[in-house]
Amino acid sequence: MSQNKSFFPKESEIPKEMLLAQPIEQKEYLVNGGLKIWEGAVQEVFSPVYINTDSEIKRKRLGSIPILGEKESFEALDAAKQAYDLGRGIWPTMPVKKRIEHMLKFTKMMKEQKSIVVKLLMWEIGKTYKDSEKEFDRTVEYIFDTIEALKNLDRDNSRIEKKNEIYAQIRRGPLGITVCMGPYNYPLNETFALLIPALIMGNVVIFKPAKHGVLLINPLLNAFKESFPKGVINIIYGPGKDTIAKLMESGKIDVFSFIGSSKIANVLKKAHPKPNRLRAVLGLEAKNPAIVLQDADLELSVNECILGSLSFNGQRCTALKIIFVHEKIVDAFNALYLEKLAKLKMGMPWEDGVMITPLPEPDKPAYLKELIDDAVNKGAKVINKNGGEINESFVHPAVLYPVSSEMRIYHEEQFGPVIPILSFKNISEPIQYMVDSNYGQQVSIFGTNSQQLAELIDPLVNQVCRVNINCQCQRGPDMFPFNGRKDSAEGTLSVFDALRVFSIRTMVAGKEIDVNKKILTEIIEGRKSNFLSTDYIL
C-alpha cells in the first residue's frame, strides 16, 4: 500500500459549507414513540475521507452511535407488538387517507433536514455530494410516488364486488411486525424503499440502519417520532447478531425486509423458527455482465460500461461487474475504455465533477487487492496505469484483462473499482456464464443488429429480470420492477410492487341474502368500518 498524503485534504482545504458543524455523538434510539437515551457503549463513526495533518493522515471522525443489544431490541419488539395489537392497533386499522397524512407530515419534516442528511451521506460513505443530493431527492420523490400509487390502489379497492351470489370487498391489509435493514451504498434511498411502503401499508416497523451511513438517520429521528403513532416505527442500532438475529429467533417477526448480502440474509432468515409465517423481501448481490457484440457502437458502449462499472466506485448492486467483448473489437474497446478512464476525476466527494472517491469499508482495499493478485497470478494483466494502487481508503480503478473462469474475480461480486474484461468468440460463452452464475439480476447488451439482439433477448429474459439494450444496468426509474433471480433477490420492488410485497389481499365476503344486504348497507352508509367502506381518496 502506498501512502500519498497529499491526495487527502487538510481540514483548512475543505470548503466550509461541506464541513459538519461538529461531530454527532448520538445517544438516542427510537422506541415506543420516545427517544430513549443510551448510557452504554458506543461505536465511533469515521469517514472514508482522511484528513492530512502535518504529521499524519487519519480518518475524519464524524461522531458515535449507540451499541444496543438484546434487551433494547426486545423493547422495540414489545413496542411494535403493542402498536400492532394483533392487527387491531390504531395504525393497522387506520383509513389509508389518514396514514397518508402521517406520511406527508414525515416527508415535510424530512425535507427540512435535507442539508445535514446529504452532508452526512457524503461524509459517511464517500458518495459524491452531487449523488448524495440525488439520493435524497430521489427518496422524497419515491415517497410522493408511493402515496399516489396507494391512492390508486385504494380507489380500485373501494367497491363491493359480486360473483356467484357472493358480495365481497377485497383490500390489501398489512402483514404485521416488519424488520427493515438497508445497504450501506444507498443507506437512505434503498432503506426507505423498504420502510416507506412497509409503513404506509399499515405494518409496524423495527428499523436497523446499515453498517455505514448510520448517522444520517439521526437528523430524521425526531421526524419519525413526531409523525407516527407510538411503536409504529422503532429504530435500533448495534451488531446484527445481538439485535435482529435475536428478534428473528423469537419467531415474532412477520416480515424480514433486507437489502445486503445473501449470506447475512440466509443466516437471519434461518434463525426464524416459523418459516411459513415469515415473508421475506430481499435485494441481494449481483454480478451483472455487459455483453459487447461485434457491431456495437464503441463510443456508446464504452461510455455506458464506464458508468456501469464505476459509478459510486462500482459499489452498486446493479453495477456492471464483468465485461464480455467480442474478440474482433476487444482491443479497440479496451483502448477506448482506458482513454476514458484516464480522464475520470479522482478525489474527494465534494469536488466538482469527481467520480472516484474513497471507499467506506475499511477492509475493502485489501479484498480488492486479493482479487487483483489472484487474477494476475492466473494470467490477467492490470492494463491501466496505476490500476489497483491503494492509498489508504482509496483504490485506483484496476482494469483486468484477459480474465478467465479460474479467477476469483470471474465469480465473486467485487463491489468496488475493479473491472474484469474478457473476450468471446461465440455468444454462447457469455450466455453460459449467466446460466452458471449464482446471480440473476440484469444484463446489458450492446449491439446494433436487431435480429441478433432479438435472438439474445428471448433466452436472456429468462436468466435475469432486466435486459438493458445499449445502456448500463440500473434500478431506476423507480416505477419499474426491481428484482432478480437465484441469489439476487426475493420479491419485487418498485413504487407499485412494494405496496404489494408489504401487504396481503384480504377480504370480507357474504352471501347475497337479505340480512347480509341490510348489514352491508348499514356498515357502509353508517361508515362503521374502515375496511368495509366505499369511501375513496381523491
Q: 204-207 and 233-235 as β-strands: parallel, antiparallel, unpaired?
A: parallel
Nearest to ligand G3H of 179, 473 (CB atom): 473
Nearest to ligand G3H of 72, 304 (CB atom): 304
Report the residue from 157, 391, 474, 533 that binds ligand G3H according to the rule CB under 6 A.
Answer: 474
Q: DSSP code of 427?
A: T
Choose among 120, 128, 137, 135: nearest CA to 21: 120
Residue 333 to residues 289, 309, 403, 521, Cα–Cα distance (Å):
15, 14, 15, 70
Residue 191 lies near ligand G3H (rule: CB under 6 A)? no
User: Quick one: which segment of 6-14, 172-180, 310-318, 520-528 binds ligand G3H (CB under 6 A)?
Assistant: 310-318
Residue 133 lies near ligand G3H (rule: CB under 6 A)? no
CB 376 within 8 A of CB 414: no
Q: Which of residues 481-510 bind ligand G3H (CB under 6 A)?
A: none
Residue in this structure with the C-alpha cell 389518514, named with its chain if needed: 98
Nearest to ligand G3H of 225, 316 (CB atom): 316
Choose among 195, 183, 209, 194: nearest CA to 286: 183
Q: How far apart are CA 431 and CA 291, in angstroms?
A: 9
Residue type, 443: V
Q: How far apart are CA 134 and CA 495, in angstroms?
A: 17
Residue 169 lies near ligand G3H (rule: CB under 6 A)? no
Q: How far apart are CA 490 and CA 256, in angstroms?
A: 11
Residue 293 Cβ, how far from ligand G3H at the closest point, in Å? 23
Report the residue from 102, 272, 287, 316 that binds ligand G3H according to the rule CB under 6 A.
Answer: 316
Report the residue from 139, 157, 178, 185 that binds ligand G3H according to the rule CB under 6 A.
Answer: 185
Q: How many CB atoms lie within 10 A of CB 98?
A: 12
User: Quick one: which segment of 105-113, 311-319, 375-383, 401-409 binds ligand G3H (CB under 6 A)?
Assistant: 311-319
Residue 391 Cβ, how far from ligand G3H at the closest point, in Å? 25
Q: Which of residues 441-460 bind ligand G3H (CB under 6 A)?
A: none
Nearest to ligand G3H of 28, 131 (CB atom): 131
Report the residue from 142, 186, 237, 324 that binds ligand G3H according to the rule CB under 6 A.
Answer: 186
| Cell numbers at 63, concatenated | 461522531
Query: In sequence order, what DSSP letters do the residues of 360-396 get, joined into one string?
Result: S-TTHHHHHHHHHHHHHHTT-EE-STTTT-EETTEE-
Nearest to ligand G3H of 106, 186 (CB atom): 186
Nearest to ligand G3H of 459, 476 (CB atom): 476
Residue 290 lies near ligand G3H (rule: CB under 6 A)? no
Q: How far apart are CA 167 and CA 148, in angstroms?
A: 28
CB 309 within 8 A of CB 337: no
Residue 473 Cβ, how far from ligand G3H at the closest point, in Å? 7
Residue 204 Cβ, how far from ligand G3H at the closest point, in Å? 25
Which residues here bind ligand G3H, judged by CB under 6 A?
185-186, 190, 316-318, 474-476
